[in-house]
Amino acid sequence: MKFLDLAKVYIRSGGGGAGCVSFRREKFIEYGGPDGGDGGNGGDVWAEAVEGLNTLIDFRYQQHFFAKSGQHGMGSQMTGKSADDVVLKVPVGTEILEEDEETVIADLTEPGQRVLLARGGNGGWGNLHFKTSTNRSPRTANPGQPGVERTIWLRLKLIADAGLVGLPNAGKSTFLAAVSNARPKIADYPFTTLHPNLGVVGIDGHEFVMADIPGLIEGASEGRGLGDQFLGHVERSRVLLHLVDGTSDDVAADARTILTELAAYSPVLMEKPRVTALNKIDALDDETIAERKAGLEAEIGGPVLLMSGVARLGVTEVLRALWTRIEPSRHAAARTEPEAPWQP
């Protein structure tokens, strides 16, 4: 399945059915009076977050979602049938934006959460509604209200507990494959990862979701390389795991590059809890490891863990460090009630 995290969608709700002008005509009933029924309501357009999806690829092949109009009213006081609603099934974590790609309509972060995107038009009144004591034979009926037509954008931000960041070829995909059942592409050249990958990680009887995004390079915030187009997928993470390639000649400069790009993208990412690990220590001697660890700690102003994704050295300690930062935020989120669905 291909990965797609941005899609343009055209929606239109159904128009209401027109009211009916009709009169009761039966044998031996001289003054039957009006009996025109009302029109049915047009269908609404909804968006619903569902589990089991992690891409918007379906919206590349179907971009138009038009609800049907309500049925017209009929004689004998028969109301027209209302049209069925149209529901867009989107992954959890999908943001719905206006056509300007900036105004957020809704953010669907919980399974089953729904939002009304376009309300269907009301059905028109039949002439039975216009009967009065002075107008016993009204020949007036209302047309149905028109539907609402709009263009929206769907932007997916994967919901993961931990997000992996680092330069290309820092060992992020190797680490994800070592600690989860995810099978990202792994090779000995940069930019192996071209789209985000998710994996479920287990440690000490606990489980959390980890997201791996393509590597960042200097100038990514200005569009270099793959740019910062995938950083939105770790924006929701509770903690970031910053992997630094221990075989690099200047680990401090590598870490500085990533921190600069995170700050350029969003201050939110810089405020998140962060665990920094020096990777690929299996390829280094003890003296080099100590030297590069000290230089990295001086650069980031905090502790640095040592690990190797290939040899699985120090992996458990890194996962435990991540979990100690994830657990408190999970408890805080559980105490917060979800917001009510937005409706126009």
Going along the chain from its start, the domains and CATH numbers come out as 1-156 (2.70.210.12), 162-334 (3.40.50.300)
Q: Is 169 annotated as a binding residue?
A: yes
What is residue 254's three-state secondary structure?
helix
- Distances 195 to 1, 53, 54, 130, 320 between C-alpha atoms, Å: 12, 15, 12, 61, 26
Give pLDDT tens digits for 14-50: 999 999 999 988 888 777 889 999 999 999 999 999 9
On the question of pLDDT at 184 being above 60, the answer is: no
Taking each helix axis from N to C end, the angle separating 286-300 and 251-265, rounded to the nearest 10 degrees, works out to: 30
Q: Is 204 annotated as a binding residue?
A: no
- Tokens (6 digits) for 7: 């899609």
Mean pLDDT over 270-293 rounds to 89
Q: Is 316 annotated as a binding residue?
A: no
Q: Is 2 annotated as a binding residue?
A: no
Contact by Cβ (8 Å): 116, 343 = yes
Q: Is 27 annotated as a binding residue?
A: no
Q: Are strands 114-118 and 45-50 parallel, antiparallel or unpaired?
A: antiparallel
Report the side by side order of strands in the sheet with 197-203.
Answer: 197-203, 206-212, 162-165, 239-245, 274-279, 305-306
Mean pLDDT over 135-152 rounds to 92
Mean pLDDT is lowest, of 85-89, 119-123, 259-263, 301-305, for 259-263
Which carries the bigger pLDDT value, residue 266 or residue 66?
66
Mean pLDDT over 305-327 rounds to 88
Residue count of the chain: 344
On the question of pLDDT at 127 being above 50, the answer is: yes
pLDDT-derived band at 224, boundaries 50, 70, 90: low
Q: Is 140 annotated as a binding residue?
A: no
DSSP secondary structure letters along 260-282: HHHHHH-HHHHHS-EEEEEE-GG
Specify the pTM: 0.72
On the question of pLDDT at 154 being above 80, the answer is: yes
Q: Is 230 annotated as a binding residue?
A: no
Give pLDDT tens digits for 318-341: 899 988 888 887 666 555 554 544
Q: Is 45 annotated as a binding residue?
A: no
Q: Is 131 annotated as a binding residue?
A: no
Structure confidence at residue 340 (pLDDT): 47
Q: Give residue 15's Cα distance to chain centre.
A: 29
Q: Is 166 annotated as a binding residue?
A: yes
Q: Is 184 annotated as a binding residue?
A: no
Average pLDDT, the chain: 83
Mean pLDDT over 126-152 rounds to 91
Q: Is 309 annotated as a binding residue?
A: yes
pLDDT above 70 as % of the chain: 85
Q: Is 52 annotated as a binding residue?
A: no
Which carries the bigger pLDDT value, residue 329 or residue 207?
207
Structure confidence at residue 331 (pLDDT): 65
Which carries the bigger pLDDT value, residue 57 or residue 336?
57
Q: Is 282 annotated as a binding residue?
A: yes
Q: Is 310 annotated as a binding residue?
A: yes
Q: Is 191 annotated as a binding residue?
A: yes
Q: Is 170 annotated as a binding residue?
A: yes
On the question of pLDDT at 1 being above 80, the answer is: no
Which carries the bigger pLDDT value, residue 337 or residue 84?
84
**Torsion angles phi and psi, residue 178, rounded to 5:** -75, -30
Structure confidence at residue 49 (pLDDT): 92
Specify which of 117-126, 273-282, 312-321 reaches the highest per-range mean pLDDT: 117-126
Q: Is 157 annotated as a binding residue?
A: no
Q: Is 107 annotated as a binding residue?
A: no
Q: Is 215 annotated as a binding residue?
A: yes
